[in-house]
Amino acid sequence: MSTSDADGFMGQPVVEIRGLSKRFGQVVALDGLDLTLPRAAVGLLGANGAGKTTLLRILLGLTNATAGTASVLGLDTRSQGVKIREHVGYMPESDVLPTSTTAADFVGHMAEMSGLPARAARQRAADVLYQVGLDEERYRLIKGLSTGMKQRVKLAQAIVHDPGLVCLDEPTNGMDPQGRDDMLDLIKRIHRMLGISLIVSSHILEDIERVCDYVVILSEGRLMLAQPIEGVGTEHGDLLVRIDGDVDAFIHRLAGVGVYAARGASAELTARDELVIRYDGDHVYDAVRDAAADLGVALRSLRKPMQSLEDIYIGEVERPVEAGRTDGGS
Amino acid sequence: MSGEPPSPPSGAAAAPVLLPGIVAGTAPTILVEGVSRWYGDIVAVSDVSFGIAPGVTALLGPNGAGKSTVLKMMAGLLRPSSGAIRIQGRPARGSVDMYRHFGLVHESETVYPFLTGREFVRFNATLQKLKNADQATDQALATVEMTAAADRRVGGYSKGMRQRIKVAGALVHDPDVLLMDEPLNGMDPAQRAQMIDLIRALGRTKTILVSSHVLAEVERFADNIIVIVNGKLAAAGDYRVIRDKIDGHDHTVRIRSDDPRRLAVTLIGHPATRSVKVESESRILAETSDARAFYRALPGLARQANVRLYEVQAGDESLQSVFAYLVER
Amino acid sequence: MAAPDPAMGEPAAYGEVYDRGYKHYEGERLGRPQALRALTRYSISRSLGIRKRWTAKIVPIILYTVAAGTVLVVIGVEAFLARVTDEVLMSYADFFGFIFVIEGIFVATIAPEMLCPDRRQDVLTLYFSRPITRLDYVLAKLTAAAILTLTLSFVPAALLWLFRNLLADAPLVALADNAGDLARIALAGGLISLYLGAIGLAISSFTGRKVIAVPVIVVGYLVTEGLVNTIAYALGENRIADWITFLSPATISNNLAYSLFPPQTGIDGIPFPWWAYAAGMALTIIIACAVMIWRYVPED
């Protein structure tokens, strides 16, 4: 009968994978993966069929690899799958909630199913449901809850047993903009304030950028990239500026001090009416400021864009050989 | 932000607005006039009027607040309890003929799994009674970049591929109007980027209405937005202009500079500044009641304080923020 | 408000804000055994309709009432007639025949309830993310079903035995003498309940829809009965017919009961000894369990 194991895992990487492969007959789902995940909020990216779901299932001990090893929180997935699941939570993408129970009952039952004694299970369930934003709704039958609330119940059952790691698969699926916002905040809080490691699998890069501090990209069963998000992308050379006022005069004024500016051409990089200013030193910032001040134009935005996670992703995923791609040519 | 004729936007060229969403000089492709829809006691949509112009318009709204109902009525799948909807002058719920003129990419539309992609698109072409069905099929498949996978069964497609095939099916008759419900659902990031580009490209010559919840992406492809909250029209038009007109929320501006505190002191001295908060060693967050005046004064004040500006960004001009403000009670 | 100065002799003011937020769990973790207990208990209570609408409770309540009520009625009549005759109103064998029907209805309600919703609503995915194996899931469900069905078949019969012996002239002697009866009751009750339960669960493991499982169990059972009996009848009085009856749930159960509790007076001899029927039922139980394992254990 163990008390909290959380302390034992401090400092260790949360997941360690060596040479992991998984075949389903002819199909290679994972191909010799080597990966170490720190105690972070990890974003897992990749096309459908790139191996993300297979990887999560192996980490949860739900399926065995064909070759290689994986360990979660220091426990080997092949031999200690059951113990791993005591300390890992899973929020699947699909509908997995029963309809004719209340949220409180179900999450309490799930807590017991994770090994908590009955009374503690009920208490934790009530607490966690409150933390995820369900007040009196937790006593309502699940079938009477909106999509957003159901997603929260799914999240609640994943964290009710205070796991060391939570795997979330498309956590904002089907939610409206506010629901998505709330859910992302919740997830971020779970990681930042409670120190629970996360693996978030999602297709929405903005969500990953918002919540995660580490990113892993898989493609065709292979690891393409695994690094902290801050390191992702380098700053592009140019400045982007938006002004309200006489654009031509502004461009002309800048040219007068040797700073080249032009209207934005590439639609991907610039928002509408952004100007591109060539950067060749910090003096350019001052030139922009002064030109705007002298002409009396409003300086609405000024930024030096980073290469986005999207550019990185597309760059990484385009690399493998086109032949044999199952996805219709991307 | 209700439906009475809004005053022209200040500052930029003031175009008189005749109908929410439509600026004088453009003809609306889709016209929604006084539309309501109720189910017994429940009023799902309440007296909504707006127009959709050519280009890409996004239809937004919280779940269960009337957005899907409005979309269904526009697609002719549901009859308004009162009011009328016209697409290119024709009633939305006219004869079966009307589907010649617009294409629908609907979430729940089933695509027969035993057909190949090509067969499905060809089938749509036949339904549309196209004379050059094969050519149109090829064209549609090429537009969504599914030519390579076209001869495999739809049942074997990933979700993203199914979405693209649905779009091809809706495009095969080259309609002027396209209605799309969550078209990016299930697509991986690369496919999403492609679909966004496709939507923008189509928007140059057609009228596209997209319903979506992922606002960061909507920002990238929508020229205009229509927001339905609690069954009513909450806003219509360019979201940045809408932001300017929302009362009760001061604009926030994030500024990164080489001496934030000195800049803060200078800014506070200006009447347009309501507050300045120090967010980090390099960043401040300013609140202003008069955005225009603030942005105009900023460069001069920075120069006066001898502070270099590295970054200036509106704090709450994202579509996410605008939406949040619109949904507040 | 300035903090009071202790030097001045005033009591220090006190105030504290407590963290209501999420806390880490520092308590016991009981692991897999707890999960299994929880699943078994939960399956039992859901099948009985506990914490659900009253309509979910109706069938179990009625069935338990009928079973218990029958026992009480039988005992009551026997007690009343005890002065006059030693005859029993309902022999144990008859009783099991009666219980068989009750049990059949019971299994048709609880077995689908135990398996179908989990499959249909895909709660299986969440269960398998818990510290149990797929085999654990099957075993817990079998255990829960066994507990429920046993309470319906063995308990009333045991009570019947108890009261009947208490009614005898020398109760304690009677209880001792008839202890063998109790053992046979346990065997018959146990086998019948496990037999019906396992078949019910095996059938339910194929579908997520109760609306399909329930009729299949009922109709399947009726059809099997009808078919087997027709064939046996057509074959006439021969050994093959006797073997065929092993496939009929009602016949095999009845034969087991009657061979364990042979009637005093002339019903035709049962073709096979009791252990043959017991073995047949045990084999069926094993096959049904294997089917369930096959349905749940291989990973998708």
Q: Do the chains contact at A327 and B187, CB–CB below 8 Å?
A: no
pLDDT band at B16 (very low <50, low <70, confident <90, very high): low
pLDDT band at A5 (very low <50, low <70, confident <90, very high): very low
B17-244: CATH topology is Rossmann fold (3.40.50)
C202 Cβ neighbours under 8 A, 6+ residues apart: C287, C288, C289, C291, C292, C295
Whether A195 and A119 have beta carbons less than 8 Å apart is answered as: no
Percentage of residues of chain A with pLDDT beyond 70: 88
CA angle B48/B54/B59 to nearest 5° reads 40
Of the ranges A95-104, A314-323, C119-128, C192-201, which one carries the lowest mean pLDDT score? A314-323
CA-nearest of A124, A175, A133 to A153 is A133
Say which DSSP state C12 is in: P
Pairwise CA distance, residues C201 & C82, whole Å: 42
Element containing residue C295 per DSSP (H, E): helix C274-296
Shortest Cα distance from C203 to chain A (angstroms)?
21
pLDDT band at A11 (very low <50, low <70, confident <90, very high): low
Shortest Cα distance from A18 to chain C (angstroms)?
23
Element containing residue B122 per DSSP (H, E): helix B117-127
The pLDDT value given to residue A8 = 33
- 3-state class (DSSP) for residue A9: helix
> Which of C23, C51, C127 lies at the smallest CB-CB distance from A113?
C127
Whether residue B236 is predicted with pLDDT greater than 50 in this model: the reply is: yes
The pLDDT value given to residue A317 = 76
Q: What is the residue type of A259?
A: V
Q: In this complex, is the C-beta atom of A266 within 8 Å of any C-beta atom belonging to chain C? A: no
pLDDT band at A234 (very low <50, low <70, confident <90, very high): low
- Whether this model's ipTM surpasses 0.90 comes out as no
> φ and ψ at B214, to 5 degrees?
-90, 90
Residue C221 lies in a domain: yes
Pairwise CA distance, residues C202 & B159, whole Å: 34
The mean pLDDT of A228-245, rounded to a whole number, is: 78
Whether B224 and B236 have beta carbons less than 8 Å apart is answered as: yes
β-pair type (B55-60, B42-52): unpaired
Domain ranges for chain A: 8-231, 239-303
The pLDDT value given to residue A322 = 37
**C50: closest chain A residue by CA:** A101
Q: What is the residue type of B135?
A: Q
Q: Do the chains contact at B300 and A293, CB–CB below 8 Å?
A: yes
For B18, C68, C82, the CA distances from C75, given in Å and listed in that order, are 89, 11, 10
Q: Do the chains contact at A194 and C125, CB–CB below 8 Å?
A: no
Whether residue A271 is predicted with pLDDT greater than 70 in this model: the reply is: no
Higher per-residue confidence, A270 vs B243 = B243
Taking only residues 288 to 317 of chain A, the set having a beta carbon closer than 8 angstroms to any beta carbon of chain B reads 288-290, 292-293, 296-304, 310, 313-314, 317
**B306: closest chain A residue by CA:** A286
Higher per-residue confidence, A87 vs A328 = A87
Q: Do the chains contact at A317 and B190, CB–CB below 8 Å?
A: yes
Where do the H-state alpha helices sit in chain A? 6-9, 52-59, 81-86, 103-113, 118-131, 147-159, 177-194, 205-211, 247-256, 283-295, 309-317
- B327: chain A residues, CB-CB within 8 Å: 178
> Which of A146, A301, A302 lies at the smallest CB-CB distance from B63?
A146
Q: In this complex, is the C-beta atom of A246 within 8 Å of any C-beta atom belonging to chain B? A: no
Whether A209 and A178 have beta carbons less than 8 Å apart is answered as: no
Edge-to-edge strands of the sheet including B309-314?
A261-263, A275-277, A239-244, A298-303, B309-314, B251-257, B283-288, B273-278
β-pair type (B207-211, B177-181): parallel
Which of B10, B60, B63 is best to mutate for the A interface (most A CBs within 10 A)?
B63
Edge-to-edge strands of the sheet including B177-181?
B102-105, B177-181, B207-211, B55-60, B224-229, B232-237
Shortest Cα distance from A316 to chain C (angstroms)?
30
Whether A163 and A90 have beta carbons less than 8 Å apart is answered as: no
- A6: chain C residues, CB-CB within 8 Å: 24
Pairwise CA distance, residues B201 & B197, whole Å: 6
B221 Cβ neighbours under 8 A, 6+ residues apart: B56, B58, B196, B199, B200, B203, B210
Judged on CB neighbours under 10 Å (0-12, 13-18, 19+), C108 is: buried
* B240-261 per-residue burial string, b: 16 or more CB within 10 A, e: under 16: bebbbebeeebbbbbbbbeebe
Pairwise CA distance, residues B121 & B133, whole Å: 9
Whether residue B13 is predicted with pLDDT greater than 90 in this model: the reply is: no
- A8: chain C residues, CB-CB within 8 Å: none
Q: What is the mean pLDDT of chain A?
A: 86
- B221: chain A residues, CB-CB within 8 Å: none
Shortest Cα distance from A156 to chain B (angstroms)?
21
- B203: chain A residues, CB-CB within 8 Å: none
Whether C43 and C114 have beta carbons less than 8 Å apart is answered as: yes
Say which DSSP state A259 is in: -
- A114: chain C residues, CB-CB within 8 Å: 35, 130-131
Q: Which two tokens stand for residue A152?
A: 């929260």
Q: Do the chains contact at B308 and A146, CB–CB below 8 Å?
A: no
**C129: closest chain A residue by CA:** A85
The pLDDT value given to residue A207 = 93
Q: Do the chains contact at B146 and A329, CB–CB below 8 Å?
A: yes
A8-231: CATH topology is Rossmann fold (3.40.50)
**C126: closest chain A residue by CA:** A96
Taking only residues 189 to 248 of chain A, the set having a beta carbon closer than 8 angstroms to any beta carbon of chain C reads 193-194
Whether residue A91 is predicted with pLDDT greater than 60 in this model: the reply is: yes
* C229-252 per-residue burial string, b: 16 or more CB within 10 A, e: under 16: beebeeeeeeeebbebbbbbbbbb
Pairwise CA distance, residues C52 & C56, whole Å: 6
> φ and ψ at B312, to 5 degrees?
-130, 120
Pairwise CA distance, residues B305 & B317, whole Å: 27
Element containing residue C134 per DSSP (H, E): helix C134-166
Could you report the per-residue pLDDT of C226-267, keeping only the tens digit for each?
888 788 778 777 777 777 778 888 888 888 888 888 766 555
List chains touching A (3+ CB pairs under 8 A). B, C
The pLDDT value given to residue C260 = 82
- What is the secondary structure of B132-186 as a DSSP string? THHHHHHHHHHHTT-TTTTTSBGGGS-HHHHHHHHHHHHHTT--SEEEEESTTTT
Domain ranges for chain B: 17-244, 246-327
Say which DSSP state A152 is in: H
Q: In this complex, is the C-beta atom of B21 within 8 Å of any C-beta atom belonging to chain A? A: no
Taking only residues 127 to 166 of chain B, the set having a beta carbon closer than 8 angstroms to any beta carbon of chain A reads 145-149, 157-161, 164
Q: What is the mean pLDDT of chain B?
A: 87
Whether A47 and A219 have beta carbons less than 8 Å apart is answered as: yes
In this chain, the answer to whether the domains covering A8-231 and A239-303 adopt an identical fold is: no
The mean pLDDT of C130-140, rounded to a whole number, is: 93
Residue C22 lies in a domain: no
Neighbour count for residue B50 (Cβ, 10 Å): 25
Residue C196 lies in a domain: yes
Neighbour count for residue B304 (Cβ, 10 Å): 13
β-pair type (B283-288, B273-278): antiparallel
Domain A239-303: top CATH class: alpha beta
Pairwise CA distance, residues B61 & B231, whole Å: 9
- A82: chain C residues, CB-CB within 8 Å: 31-32, 131-133
pLDDT band at B2 (very low <50, low <70, confident <90, very high): very low
- A152: chain C residues, CB-CB within 8 Å: none
List chains touching C (3+ CB pairs under 8 A). A
> Which of A148, A267, A293 lies at the smallest CB-CB distance from B63?
A148
- 3-state class (DSSP) for residue B231: coil
Residue C3 lies in a domain: no
Element containing residue B253 per DSSP (H, E): strand B251-257
- What is the secondary structure of B21-67 as a DSSP string? TEETTS--SEEEEEEEEEETTEEEEEEEEEEE-SEEEEEE--TTTTH
Whether B121 and B172 have beta carbons less than 8 Å apart is answered as: yes
Q: What is the residue type of A82?
A: V
pLDDT band at B47 (very low <50, low <70, confident <90, very high): very high
Percentage of residues of chain B with pLDDT beyond 90: 51
Whether residue A266 is predicted with pLDDT greater than 50 in this model: the reply is: yes
CA-nearest of A205, A153, A216, A217 to A179 is A153
- The CA R_g of chain A, rounded to the nearest whole Å, is 24
Chains B and A touch (3+ CB pairs under 8 A): yes
- What is the secondary structure of A80-103 as a DSSP string? -HHHHHHSEEEE-SS----SSSBH
Q: Do the chains contact at B145 and A329, CB–CB below 8 Å?
A: yes
Residue C5 lies in a domain: no
Q: Which two tokens stand for residue C57?
A: 């409770």
Whether C141 and C43 have beta carbons less than 8 Å apart is answered as: yes
- 3-state class (DSSP) for residue A223: strand
The pLDDT value given to residue C229 = 79
Whether A270 and A283 have beta carbons less than 8 Å apart is answered as: no
CA-nearest of B34, B55, B104 to B221 is B55
Out of 3.40.50.2000, 3.30.70.100, 3.40.50.1000, 3.90.550.10, select the CATH number for domain B246-327.
Answer: 3.30.70.100
For A198, C1, C13, C16, the CA distances from C9, given in Å and listed in that order, are 53, 17, 12, 22
Whether residue A202 is predicted with pLDDT greater than 50 in this model: the reply is: yes
Pairwise CA distance, residues B69 & A36, whole Å: 47
Q: In this complex, is the C-beta atom of A225 within 8 Å of any C-beta atom belonging to chain B? A: no
Structural domains in chain C (count): 1
**C42: closest chain A residue by CA:** A109
Shortest Cα distance from A47 to chain B (angstroms)?
5
Of the ranges A156-160, A223-227, A234-238, B15-19, which one carries the lowest mean pLDDT score? B15-19
Describe the crossing of helices A103-113 and A118-131 by its angle, rounded to 10 degrees.
Answer: 130
List chains touching B (3+ CB pairs under 8 A). A
Of the ranges A33-42, B91-100, B163-172, which one carries the lowest mean pLDDT score? B91-100
